[in-house]
Structures are given as structure tokens and as C-alpha cells.
Structure 1
Amino acid sequence: MTRQRYNFHGSDLEIIEKIYNIKKEDIINFAANVNPLGISPKLKKTLSERIDSIMSYPDREYTSLREKISEYVDADMTDIIVGNGSTELISLFIRIMKPKKALIIGPTYSEYEREISLGGGSSLYYRLEEEKDFRIDIPSLERELTPDVDLLVVCNPNNPTSSAITKDDMRSILDICKSKGIFVMVDETYVEFAEDVSSISSVQLTRFYNNIIILRGVSKFFAAPGLRLGYAICGNSDLIKEINKMKNPWTINSLAAVAGEIMFTDEEYINKTRQMISSERTRICDTLKTCPNIKFYNPAANFVLVKILKNDVTSLDLFEAAIKKGYMIRDCSTFPFLNNKFIRFCFMMPEQNDALLKTLFKNLA
């Protein structure tokens, strides 16, 4: 009997619960790519003290929040705009720029193509080659940036490959795009998990280039997807003004704004997260090297892409073997250019990681 294949997202726990008869509370979610430490302890401790903030409208300019973000990312506050998750900012940007044809570096997150389509544009993909471990090749990218392309979309580090483009390479890409009249949208959702954030993040480049906008949020690193708090960094003042004009006022509620102010200043939590992810990334990769039936691609983010080399095992086989143990991984067969030999999982707490690897290795023996 043919098994039905579902396209599960990391947030689809209710659907998983129904199909596999597993309580969602019992599922360890290796597919969501969220910080396993949970939300900031400083936030837990102090947010209740600010509950009265809901009695008044938020500041239309979100001045205090933007100041904290400015300090956190080391950018000018005037170059920062906040929104109801990075998704709202992507949507607003597309509506303003109205790209006719976008080049998306993939395989990657499907929301970019969807938003471009909703804005009346079309998309094509620049394919990251598996043979090059999904690393960017700038000369081949330049050839794909034809005169009809007006937007380049980059996820850095990329989901699901966990590969990254260095700041120096991004500078080269921006120079190429500038000469061709192409704007660059960079999603840095996972950059804070990188070993050396400064070598990958393009935030500092916004001081010198007006054809780049960087998107970030608190869903992954700060483990707060329910807050729906996103922000963008852009040195193009005209674009920032246009987004602010089009954006509805008070898209971030008072508690979310206050929460953001608190989270971005919790240095102990930020450092602890980076240390733990760094340690587990190294340890897990060393363990993966011991399994002859897989290949993994060196991760820059808090998750790793794995290729199954065993002929009679598919991504669905490993997904189902893991979910029956209460571990949810990502079957990557629905991503562009990937097939039923690829899975992705994020780094959770050490004992949870060990349990998942034991299950995967058992089914790969």
C-alpha cells in the first residue's frame, strides 16, 4: 500500500497529532529550528511587571524598541523598521518594490515565491549545487542575473541547507546587483546562531549600499514565534519612508514591543544560546561522521541538512521512524531541487539530540 506523503511544517503539531495519534505535548520538535533554551529568563521574570503597558497605545514610532534593536545589531536607529513578524515586512517590501522578476537562491523557504506572486511578479531559482555542498558560486550567479531580473532573494544562512554566504561575498554580490539595477532582499532569520555572526551578517553593509534590505525576527533565536515581532535594517531612507507610509499603525502590540526591548538586552541568555548551539553543532557533526550511510553538509545555522545514502531508505522512512518515537524532523522532499533522500533537523538539548541520532542511526544501519 502506498503511504500518503504530507508536507509538514515545524508548526504542524496538531496535524501530526491527528495522523500519528501522538499528543503534541509529547513531540520534541526538531523541525521548527527554534532555540531549545526557550524564551529569555529575563523576559519571563520581568514581562509581568510591564502588564500595564496594554492600557495605552504603543508609540507609533516604537522608539524604545528600535533603540534596543539598534544597540543589538549595531545599526543606526533610523535604518530600522519593525513589523508584525518578518512576513509582514516582506509583504510590504514586495508591494512597494513591485518586482517583475525575482531570482531566488534555492532550495529555500517557499514564502518568498508566494509573496512575489501575490505582488504580481514571477520567480525563478538560482540553484545551489549539491556537488558544491550548496555553497554559492558568484560567477555562475552573475550569469543568472539577467537584465529582466530586478530582485535577488537570499536566505543567509539558508534554510534548509544551513549554508552561508560570507559578508565579503555578499559585498561582491551587492556590487554586481548595483551595476545591474537589482535590489537584494536578505533574510537573516538564522544568522544569530552562526559561529561568527560578524563574518556572515550583512548589517554593516547597509551603511554603504542602498540596494539591500535585511529581515530578521524573534521567532527562532529568541524562541518567540507567537510574539510576531520582526524587524528590518535598510540604509535606503526613501524605502524606509515608503514602508512606514504603507504600514498600518500599531502593527506590534504593546506587550510584544516591551518583550522585544527586554529580550534584546538579555546578554546572558544570548551568550548561553550561542555557546550551546556551537557546542552541539560541533558534537553532532562529529557523530554524523561516524555513520557511513549518510552525508551531511557543514551547517552554519542551528540545523543540519542530511542526505541518505542507503538505497532502500527514504526521507519519509526516517520521518516516520522518528515521529513514532516522538521526534519530529523535516522531510525535505518538498523543497526545490531536493528529493526523498534529504532530511533536516535542528539542534535541541544534548540528551534529546542523542536520542534522535540513536533512532536515525538504527534505521540507517
Structure 2
Amino acid sequence: MSKFTLSNTVTTLQPSGIRKFFDLAASMDNVISLGVGEPDFVTPWNVREASIYSLETGHTAYTSNAGLFELRDEVSRYFSKKFDVHYDPNEELIITVGASQGIDIALRTILNPGDEVIVIDPCFVSYAPLVSLAGGVPVHLATTGEEEFKINLQALKKKITPKTKAILLCNPNNPTGTLLEKELLEDLAIFVKKHNLIVISDEIYAELVYDGEYTSFAKIDGMRDHTILISGFSKTFAMTGWRLGIVAAPSEIISHMLKVHQYAIMCAPTMSQHAAVEALRNGEHDVEAMRRSYMQRRNYLVSSLQENGLSCHLPGGAFYVFPSIQNTGLTSEEFAEQLLLKERVAVVPGNVFGDCGEGFIRCSYATSLEQLIEATKRIGRFLQTLPTFQPVNLTKIESK
């Protein structure tokens, strides 16, 4: 037993539920992983070459705390072109060490002890812990498979208290892939304005949208001043290991976020920032090729899971599907563990993303189509061994 008294907030945090299955899968042979939320594409060569060139020419010193101005200027242009949202590269942007760090400094900047943040479940595993680490109180708003995991505004209203400070939003969503359309965001905006809330809008998957057009929450009328927009390079440009994120917000918020960033981090890696400049300038073709590949995989995976007798809505974005396994008689953890042990397929139990994720699993299609074909064969074989499995009537499955 340690003789030291540690932080109660930290010692009561639960480790990431995703890691348990990743670690188990890593110790086994012949495993197909549908668990990792990471592109299977290698960072495009021209982006890697830009980083190598920056090293060869001696760009190894710190950048400014907010990041290379050249990169912030490109981000500003990119946001204007792609999403029609406009941010001053001098005063309204920070380059962070991944999108997760952006969320962390956003929460640490806006929260006082006891402030409440509404977290839309199912959600990425770090959201609630980051709220707690910043001294806030996460308030969970459940969504349902019947509504394709979209926000129910009537349920949201019931979560508001005098202590509510912010809403933490992910669109498209991890783990469900759900895309929130403009009409729903406009309704949410009325609610946000009425209660004078801040929305931390995690839009890391904004480029990976397959049905309809993407709308940034900051683009909704009147919401730019209420929004801290989080983005990054990991998913869109297959740059997970480069650790680069983006925060965009009004200058009066960014100026304070920058203080937290400079004391905790100093700046994002210099060579990664030079690579990101090249990605923004000349990466559009590669991004579109990856997006088309993901869409093909999404369509195959959803169709195959449905043919195997699992209910699964067609997600509008990201690279995840979130099928129900309630008709198997197993809990999410039981299903994931048995599937891994018996058929060597790794998925993530839905309950690690919030209580309302129980009865679902997350499958990532950021892996090759060949791997997905083999994985769904194994899943189908596994389902047939379950005595309590009741296949969904395919005629009742609703898909777009």
C-alpha cells in the first residue's frame, strides 16, 4: 500500500474499457481487430516527406505556443472552404497535441468546481473522465438505438440545472457513427442560446461523412460565439501517431485556453506541424480516396451484420457501426469476450461508452475489406453457436 495520499478524482477513475480487449487481443494469434479507432491507411507519402524535409532543414525548435502561423493560416482557409466557418489564425486557433488535448484544455478553461457538463451517451471513453479531471460533473444524456442514437431534445431539457455549463458533442459520433443533421442542430441551437451554454463540438470525423452534407455546429446561426470547435488530423489524414489537433473558438475563450496549453504542453511537435501544412494544401485527393473506401466498407459491414441476424442502423459518418446484440442473450462484455476467445475477432463492448451502450458492440471498419469479409464470416459462425440467439427478422430492419 502506498504511503502517499493521491488525488481522489484520479484514484476513482476507471481505466479505459477499450484497453482491456486490445491488450487481450494483442496476446493472441490470428486476431482480426474491429476494435481500434485508427485508419489502416499509412499517412500519404507527400505528408511524410514534408516532415522529413523539415527535419533535414533543421526545423527542430519550439514553435509559438499556438502553433506555426503557417499552419494556423492553412487551417483557417481549410475551415472556410470546407465548412464555411471562419476563424482568425492570429487569435482564434490553437494547434494542440491531438484533439483529446484540445477537449482537455477547453474543459479546464471553462469549468469551475461543480459545474455540470452534459455528455451525450454513448460517447468516446475519455469525455466523462476529462470533465471530472477538470473539476466538473459529467451529466449523462442517454440516446437510443430506436432513434439511431440522435439527441432527444425533450430528454435534454430534463438534464438542465442551474449548474449546467456546457454540452459535449461529437458529430459524427464515436462510437455509433450517427450524423446529426442541420435541422436537429438548429433545434439544439435554440436550446443552447436559451440557457446560455457552451458547446464543445468534437468534429474530428467531419470529413468522413457518407450520406448528406456535414454541418458544423459553429455554422448554425448564432452558435459561433457559443462553440469551442475541436478538430484534428488523426482520422481525416491518417495521422494518428503525429498527435495534432485543432481548437477553434472566439478570441476571448482562446486567449485563456492558450494559457493552459502553454503551461501544460508548450507547443505541438514541430515536424508534425510542417507535415500538417502539406496535408491541408495537397491532401484532398487522398482524403476523398479514403472516404470512398470507408463508405464501401461501411455498406458491406452493415449489410453482412444484418444478414447474420443482428440489428444495425446505417451510420452517416466516422468509421464505426454499433450493432445491437440484445437478441443473443449475452451482455456486451460477454459477447465481446466470447467472440474474441472463440473466433479471434476483437470488438468493443458498448457499455464502455456509457450505460446506454449496453446491449451493443462497436465495430470499426477502419480495416481492409478482406479482413471485414473474414471477420463477418467468423461472427456469423459464432452467432450460430449461441443457443439463445434469435436472429432479427430481416424484413423489419430499417436502413437508409
TM-score by length of 2: 0.80
Question: Are the structure 2 counterparts of residues 343 and 259 from structure 1 closer, same or farther at C-alpha, using a change threshold of 3 Å?
Answer: same
Question: Are the structure 2 counterparts of residues 140 and 119 from structure 1 closer, same or farther at C-alpha, using a change threshold of 3 Å?
Answer: same
Question: Are the structure 2 counterparts of residues 33 and 221 from structure 1 closer, same or farther at C-alpha, using a change threshold of 3 Å?
Answer: farther
Structure 1 contact 29–328 (Cα < 8 Å) conserved: yes
* Structure 1: 5+ residue stretches without partners: 1-5
User: Is 1:238 equivalent to 2:252 in the alignment?
Assistant: yes
Aligned length: 353
1:57 corresponds to: 62
Q: 1:67 aligns with which of 69, 73, 91?
A: 73
User: C-alpha distance in 1, partners of 2:21/2:211?
Assistant: 32
CA deviation after TM superposition for structure 1 residue 156, in Å:
1.3
2:287 corresponds to: 270
User: Is 1:129 equivalent to 2:144 in the alignment?
Assistant: yes
Q: Quote the sequence identity (%).
A: 20
User: Is 1:344 equivalent to 2:362 in the alignment?
Assistant: yes
Structure 2 contact 218–227 (Cα < 8 Å) conserved: no
Q: 1:282 aligns with which of 294, 299, 302?
A: 299
Question: Are the structure 2 counterparts of residues 320 and 189 from structure 1 closer, same or farther at C-alpha, using a change threshold of 3 Å?
Answer: farther
User: Is 1:358 equivalent to 2:369 in the alignment?
Assistant: no
Question: Are the structure 2 counterparts of residues 15 and 68 from structure 1 closer, same or farther at C-alpha, using a change threshold of 3 Å?
Answer: farther
Structure 2 contact 18–352 (Cα < 8 Å) conserved: no
Structure 2 contact 64–267 (Cα < 8 Å) conserved: no
Deviations 1:195-234 (A, max 9, x none): 2574343243487531111111222232322222110122
User: Is 1:76 equivalent to 2:90 in the alignment?
Assistant: no
User: C-alpha distance in 1, partners of 2:344/2:228?
Assistant: 39
Question: Are the structure 2 counterparts of residues 63 and 170 from structure 1 closer, same or farther at C-alpha, using a change threshold of 3 Å?
Answer: same
Structure 2 contact 93–246 (Cα < 8 Å) conserved: yes
Runs of 4 or more above 6 Å deviation: none
CA deviation after TM superposition for structure 1 residue 319, in Å:
4.3
Question: Are the structure 2 counterparts of residues 320 and 206 from structure 1 closer, same or farther at C-alpha, using a change threshold of 3 Å?
Answer: farther
* Structure 2: 5+ residue stretches without partners: 1-14, 81-85, 385-400
Structure 1 contact 195–278 (Cα < 8 Å) conserved: yes
CA deviation after TM superposition for structure 1 residue 53, in Å:
4.0
Alignment of 1:170-319 (within 5 A): 170-195=185-210, 198-205=213-220, 209-234=224-249, 236-248=250-262, 250-265=266-281, 266-292=283-309, 294-300=310-316, 301-315=318-332, 316-319=334-337
2:101 corresponds to: 88
CA deviation after TM superposition for structure 1 residue 12, in Å:
6.9
User: C-alpha distance in 2, partners of 1:96/1:43?
Assistant: 32
Structure 1 contact 82–232 (Cα < 8 Å) conserved: yes
1:3 corresponds to: none
1:17 corresponds to: 26
CA deviation after TM superposition for structure 1 residue 126, in Å:
1.1
Q: 1:117 aligns with which of 93, 109, 132?
A: 132
Quote the RMSD (CA, aligned, Å): 2.6
Deviations 1:40-77 (A, max 9, x none): 23223443222134433324442111122222222334
Question: Are the structure 2 counterparts of residues 110 and 37 from structure 1 closer, same or farther at C-alpha, using a change threshold of 3 Å?
Answer: closer
User: C-alpha distance in 1, partners of 2:357/2:285?
Assistant: 40
Structure 1 contact 203–214 (Cα < 8 Å) conserved: yes
Question: Are the structure 2 counterparts of residues 339 and 86 from structure 1 closer, same or farther at C-alpha, using a change threshold of 3 Å?
Answer: closer
- The AA in structure 2 aligned to 1:93 is A
1:30 corresponds to: 34
